[in-house]
Amino acid sequence: MFVTNINCKLKVLYYTTRSQDMTFLEANRWEQLFQRYFPRLEKFHFQYYKPLNFEYKSPIYPEDPNPFISSFWIERKWILEAEMRSFEVVYSISPYKKRWYDDNSSSEIFKSTRFTVTCLPRQEELEILMMNISSILTLTQIYHLEIPQRQIFSSSLIDIINVLSELDSFKIHSLSLSPTRNSSVEEIALRNVSNKNKITKVCLEKMIEIEEIYYLMKLCPRMNYLQVDYINNINIELFVQDILQKVQNEHNQYLRSLCFLVPTIENEMVKKLEERIHSQKLFFHYMIKRHYTINRVVNSIYLEWK
């Protein structure tokens, strides 16, 4: 490899390839290379471009699943990610950066693998996405999912979550509740996936109707953090009231944090929310008042309760 001829004092390395050589995804070879030739390397940025699969076949990766979670990678906080584009899957390794779902506690770096679907196939071509997810899972487990650019049907979201058994969070641009298959089949699929998924954090970038939130709460019953980046012409106070009443009526013991973004926030918004919560007794449970906090950060409001 030509990089062995570079000065060993190298501290930052960027490397991109479209080679068909699968050994580029062999973690042990990278470890040996860095330890022998680049002991002072501090930052590593790597991209490996692979054509999409259009038929089911298991790629022959050089190692067992999750090869990039040894102490070598965790100590340096270099993480593996995958991104599906129009015609290719891009595997990348780069230094870890804080994400929307991170709190102030220490993150589990070895569970940082994120899969981003930049180009979501049309509903009738969803099988292409499923084939490539299966391919990625032969190399690494996926803990975080992002679909940032297109609306996704609820049935498609169910199918994707169903194969990502270790998923902890997902962010989607918007959600369509329009039926794409028989309602009884959809209900069975929803029940099965909601019973077994481990999702704790959800972000909906654009909400049109409150029913979308109700659906996500049903799909992810163990969700403890919900973020909504855009609320479509809905009264903020009523929005918060509806969600808290839903939590209360369904005895939801998991959801404990809500964040929503609005373009402009009135100076009195936090006060109005507190008044609404108090007047509607939204944090009273069997006559016991729950502790809650409301904080405003720029154009975001964070509501947390115990």
pLDDT tens, residue by residue, 38-72: 999 999 999 999 998 877 666 655 555 667 989 99
Amino acid (one-letter) located at 97: K
Average pLDDT, the chain: 89
- Any domain includes 295: no
Please state the rounded mean pLDDT for residues 188-214. 97
Query: For residues 10 and 188, what is the distance between their CA atoms, to the nearest angstrom?
Result: 55
Residue 283 lies in a domain: no
Tell me: the pLDDT tens digits for 108-141? 888 999 999 999 988 888 999 999 999 899 889 9
Does 194 reside within a domain?
yes
Between 29-43, 170-184, 249-263, 274-288, the lowest mean confidence (pLDDT) is in 274-288
Q: Indicate whether 276 belongs to any domain.
A: no
The pLDDT, as a whole number, for residue 61 is 57
Q: Is residue 34 part of a domain?
A: yes
Q: What is the 3-state secondary structure (H, E, C) of 71-121?
A: HHHHHHCEEEEEEECCCEEEEEEEECCCCCCCCCCCCCHHHCCEEEECCCC
Q: Provide the number of structural domains found in the chain.
A: 1
Q: Residue 47 sits in which domain range?
A: 2-264
Q: What's the whole-model pTM score?
A: 0.92
Higher pLDDT, 64 or 208: 208
Determine whether 37 is exposed, middle or buried from the number of CB atoms within 10 Å of its CB (0-12, 13-18, 19+). middle
Grade residue 219 by pLDDT with cuts at 50, 70 and 90.
very high
Q: Quote the pLDDT of residue 60.
A: 57
Query: Is residue 75 in a domain?
Result: yes
CA-CA distance, 46 to 130, in Å (whole number)? 25
CB contact at 8 A, 289 and 305: no
Angle at 69 between CA 110 and CA 158, to 5 degrees: 55
Classify residue 305: in a domain, yes or no.
Answer: no
pLDDT tier at 102 (50, 70, 90 boundaries)? confident
Predicted pLDDT at 287? 47
Selected residue with higher pLDDT from 54 and 214:
214
pLDDT over 70 percentage in the chain: 90
pLDDT at 218: 98
Confirm whether 289 is domain-assigned: no
